[in-house]
Amino acid sequence: MSVDAIKFGTDGWRGVIGAEFTFDRLLLVAPIAAAVLADTYGAKTGNRKIIVGFDRRFMAETFAKRMAEAVRLAGFDVILSETFAPTPAFSWAAHSQDVLGALVITASHNPGAYLGLKVKGNFGGSVSPDVTKQIEARLCETLPDSQPGTLTTFDPWASYCDGLREKVDLASIQQSIASGKLTVFADVMNGAASTGLGRLLGLPITELNSKTDPLFGGGAPEPLPKYLSQLMRVIRSYAGEPGIRVGLVFDGDCDRIAAVDGSGEFLSSQILIPILIEHLVKQRGCKGEIIKTVSTSNLVPKIAKLYNLPIYETPIGYKYIADRMLETQALIGGEESGGIGYGNHIPERDALLSALYLLETIAKSQQDLGDLYRALETQTDYYFKYDRVDLHLSGMDVRSKLMAELESKPFNKIANIEVRDRNLADGYKFNLADDSWLLIRFSGTEPVLRLYCEAATIEQVHQTLAWAQDWAKSVDN
C-alpha cells in the first residue's frame, strides 16, 4: 500500500494491524510527524522533545517503542511512557512539559484489529487539519541526517492525576462514597482508563472489564449501549436499595465518556453535556462559551439560553473544538460521540475529568444523573430522544452517487415531515418543522454512511433513521 493511502481522519491515522498499520509505515510517518511538530511549535518551545505514549491494545507498547527509537534517530529527544495511560494524559504531558507535542499509539474506540497514531500539539490537544495535511504532504520526503537525540522514560499518570484533582472538590466525592451515599462503577472496556478513577479518588472503585483483552470481548471499546449489558445488569441488581449508583464508561484510550444512571439507563454525552453545563455554571460559578459540534443535541443551545451563555458550532471532530477553545474563553466543548473538554483544562476531550465532574455533580446535589437530566428537560421544556446508525455501503462509488443525489434532489420532506432548512457545515443536516433533525455524513476513508437523528420520541427517531436507510439503499442498487 502506497503512502498515498495514509490519511488522517477526525483524530489520527488508523488501520488494521499488519495490513494498513505496519511497522514500516509507522516508522515512515512518525519522524515526519515529529518534523512537522518541530516546524509548528519549535520556535515556542526552544527544544526538540517529543512525548511518546500508548494505550492497552495488542502490540501498542511494541509499536510505541519502535516509533520512539525511529524518532530519536531522526534527531529528537524522546520521552517515552513507562506504561499505558489515557490519551489525555499524554496531551497533558506535552503541554505541562512544554515539548513539541505527543505521538500516541492508539486506535481509540475501533475494534481490536486496529491500531493508529494520534498527533498532539504543544498546546495539549489534537493538531489542526492544516498540520495533519502537512504530514501527509511530506510522506515522500527524506529527512536530512541528524545527530540522534536522547531517550528517557516517564510516568504519565502522576502529574496528570495531580492536575485533575485540583479541578474538583475531591473531598465531597470521597465523603459521599465513603459514607455509602454514592456507589461508583467504572466500565473501562479493557482500555487505558483502567486504574484511573481509583488513582484519582484514593478509594477502591469497582471496575468492570479491567483486564487487558486484545479482542475487547469480541466487540469494540466504544461507550455504546450494545456493549454495556453487564454494567446495566449490575446496577439494576441494586434496585430498591438506599443510596445513589452511577456507572461511568470509558472508551479504549479514555478520551470519550458515557454513563449509566441508577436505574440502569444509558446516558450518552447528548445527555451528559447539558448536565455538566448546569453543574459548572450553578455549582462552580463558571462562565464561558459553549462549543458544540453540528451533531450535538439541541438541548445544548436551550441550556446556553437558560444561562445566557454564548454558543458556537463546529464540524464533527474534536480538533475543530480544540481550535475554537484556543481562540476564546470556553466553558465546555462537547461532541455527541462522547468527547467533552473544558476551558479550565487543556483543549482536549478528557473522560476522567468528565467523570470527576459528574461525581461532583452527584455529590453536591445528592441526585441521580437521570433525575438531573429530567429536571433540565422540564426547565427548558425540551424533550428529545437520539440515536445514530452507521450504514455500510457496497463501495466508495455509492458514496459519490448519494452525494450527487443530495445535491441535485434536496429533500423537501423526510418521513412525511417538512424540511425547514439545511445546514451544510459538515455533511447534510436537515432541520424539520417539528424541531427534529436528521444529519447525513459520509466517512472519508471507507464506504460508510453515518446517520444521526434527534426527535421527540425514540419511535420517531427510528422511523426517521429507517427512512434515511431506505433512501440510501434505493440509490445503492
The string of DSSP codes covering 241-261 is -SSEEEEEEE-TTSSBEEEE-
Could you please state the CATH topology (level 3) that the domain comprising 3-161 is classified under: Alpha-D-Glucose-1,6-Bisphosphate; Chain A, domain 3 (3.40.120)
Stretch(es) of the chain classified as CATH 3.40.120.10: 3-161, 167-380
* Cell output for 383: 424533550
How many Å apart are CA 96 and CA 154, to the nearest integer?
A: 13
- Render pLDDT for 20-78 as a digit per residue (tens, 0 to 9): 999 999 999 999 999 999 999 999 999 999 999 999 999 999 999 999 999 999 999 99
- 388 pLDDT tier (thresholds 50, 70, 90): very high
Strand, coil or helix: 344: coil
Its pTM stands at 0.94
How many Å apart are CA 96 and CA 158, to the nearest integer?
A: 12
- Extended strands (E) in 240-384: 244-250, 257-260, 266-267, 289-293, 311-314, 330-334, 340-342
* The pLDDT value given to residue 133: 94
- Render pLDDT for 298-346 as a digit per residue (tens, 0 to 9): 999 999 999 999 999 999 988 899 999 999 999 999 999 889 999 999 9
- Render pLDDT for 425-447 as a digit per residue (tens, 0 to 9): 999 999 999 999 999 998 766 78
* The pLDDT value given to residue 347: 96
Neighbours of 50 (CB within 10 A): 28
Neighbours of 179 (CB within 10 A): 9
Looking at the predicted structure, is the pLDDT value of residue 268 above 90? yes
- Render pLDDT for 146-160 as a digit per residue (tens, 0 to 9): 999 999 999 999 999
Instruction: Note whether 433 and 418 are within 8 A (CB).
Output: yes
Does domain 385-475 sit in CATH 3.30.310.50?
yes
Looking at the predicted structure, is the pLDDT value of residue 198 above 60? yes
* The pLDDT value given to residue 4: 64
Provide the pairing of β-strand 182-187 with 385-392.
Answer: unpaired
Rounded average pLDDT over 447-476 = 93
Query: What percent of the chain has pLDDT above 70?
Result: 98
**DSSP run (H or E) holding 154:** strand 151-154
CB-based burial label for 33 (10 Å; 0-12, 13-18, 19+):
buried
Instruction: Note whether 284 and 369 are within 8 A (CB).
Output: no
Looking at the predicted structure, is the pLDDT value of residue 243 above 60? yes
* The pLDDT value given to residue 11: 82
How many Å apart are CA 236 and CA 228, to the nearest integer?
A: 12
Stretch(es) of the chain classified as CATH 3.30.310.50: 385-475
- The DSSP bridge partners found for residue 313 are 292
- Min mean pLDDT across 281-295, 415-429, 438-452 is at 438-452
Q: Which residue has the cell 436551550?
A: 302
CATH code of domain 167-380:
3.40.120.10
